[in-house]
Structures are given as C-alpha cells and as structure tokens.
Amino acid sequence: MKKDIHVAHSPDSDDAFMFYALATRKIDTGDLNYVHVLSDIETLNRKALEGEYEVSAVSFHAYAYMADKYALLSCGASMGRNYGPIVVSGKPIRPDSLASKSVAIPGTLTTAFLTLRLFEPEIQYHVVQFDKILDQVREGKYDAGLLIHEGQLTYRELGLHKVLDLGEWWLGSTGLPLPLGGNVIKRDLGPALMKQVAEDIRRSIQYGLDHREEAMAYAIQFSRGLDLQRADRFVGMYVNDLTLDYGEEGREAVRRLLQEAYKNKIIPQRIALEFV
C-alpha cells in the first residue's frame, strides 16, 4: 500500500517545471504516491498555517508563522538574483513617493509584501488576487501594484511603468539574492520520511533541468499567456542552481531576510532555520 504525500504548489510554470517529473511519474518514488494540489500562494500560505499538507510551497514571510510545524526542504526555493517582484504604476512615479500611494498587493503573507515593507514601512496596501493586479492598476483603481509571477515580464505591453524592482533593491542593500518562496515539509513525518521526500523532490527538479524541452512543454500550459520563449525565461529566473540546493549563499539570504523582518517588527519572533 503506497503512502500518499500531498504536495501543494502554485499553478505557475516554474512550479510545474519543478514538479514535472513527480506529477508525470518520470521518477520512481518507491512506496510514496505524490498527490499534487494547486493553489495561489496566499491560499497555500494560509493552509500551511493550519498544517493542511505534508509538503507545500510557501512564502518565506509566511514561514515565520509555521516553523514549529514545518521544516524547510533544502531544495525547491525560488530566489531572484538582482530581480524579483516589481512595483508598477499607471503613471511614472518615484520609489520614494510610494508611501503616499495606494498599492495593490497579492497577499499580506507573501515575501513580496514583506520586502516592500522593508523598503517602505508606511505602505498603504490593498489585497488583490495576484492575477488581477495588472488590470486594476491599468484601470486606475490603484496607483501602483506589486507583481509576482509572469506579470514581471509583461507589464510594459500594458503601458505600465516600473517603479521599483525589489530584487535589485535587496541585492544592492545586502549583496544577496532575494529568497521569495520555498518548499516546507511537516516535522511530524519523522526524519527518515522527510529525507526520502526531500530526495524525491530534488530528483524531480534535476530531471526537469536535464530534460528541459520536455519539462517546458509540460510547464507552458501553466504560463498564463506567455509564449514558449518568455515562459522559458521565467522558469530560468526561478529554477536555477539555488533551487537544487540553497548552498551557503541561499541559506544566508533566508536568514538575513527573516532577521531584517524581525528587526523591523514585521514578524514577531526570531526564526531558527532548519533545512532537510
């Protein structure tokens, strides 16, 4: 009898690419059966707070509130080196004027929002579903919008202006890549099973990187309107060497992000990080 492991992640091309080999059973996972659950990141964050799934993609911001239940897997992170979530506006505005603007954000537990608050603590925000932000900024409902996912590559076509790239700002401030999201695993599965799952996910990511064309053909169906070339670019941005393993730089980036969040009173306590 196989044991079901629920893996929750976003319906995005980068996550689809990462989990391609698991979802299509390209790799042998022995006595484990992986059940994929697709949801937007803010929903995943909220469900993980309740300990809903064995494995989930979450924002590093949200991880600060669930570290007691979940450990971080040492693979599957999305990090932007000198790029990341982008603030865009309908009319050109300066980054230092953001405090006086209304900004649509994709969720209060996203790392994008955490980083925006590190940049501008007084931000006036409104939560809008991530894939509706571009349109609502274009229609003038909000002065600016915080983009995660594919909108980072397409906003110019809609006549919008870049105000700030948070990944660029973070690298300039810290010299580190910006850690956005990672995969977490429930601690109560026990060390042996946690390790087995971690290895399966690492093998799935490696398979995608080794069979890029095949994995991209699968991932393109989750790319919300991007052509193959841009979907490939988007996947390349968020599935890279740091995704296979954080390495020292990646671990330091996560530590620094949560340290700054605590120092700036955005999260309530210091988080001790443990990677499986």
Round to whole Å and give the CA distance between 40 and 48.
Answer: 12
Distance of CA 244 to the CA centre of its chain: 15
Q: What pairs with residue 35 in β-bridges?
A: 6
Active site residues: 149
Please name which of 107, 72, 36 lies closest in space to residue 179, comparing C-alpha atoms.
72
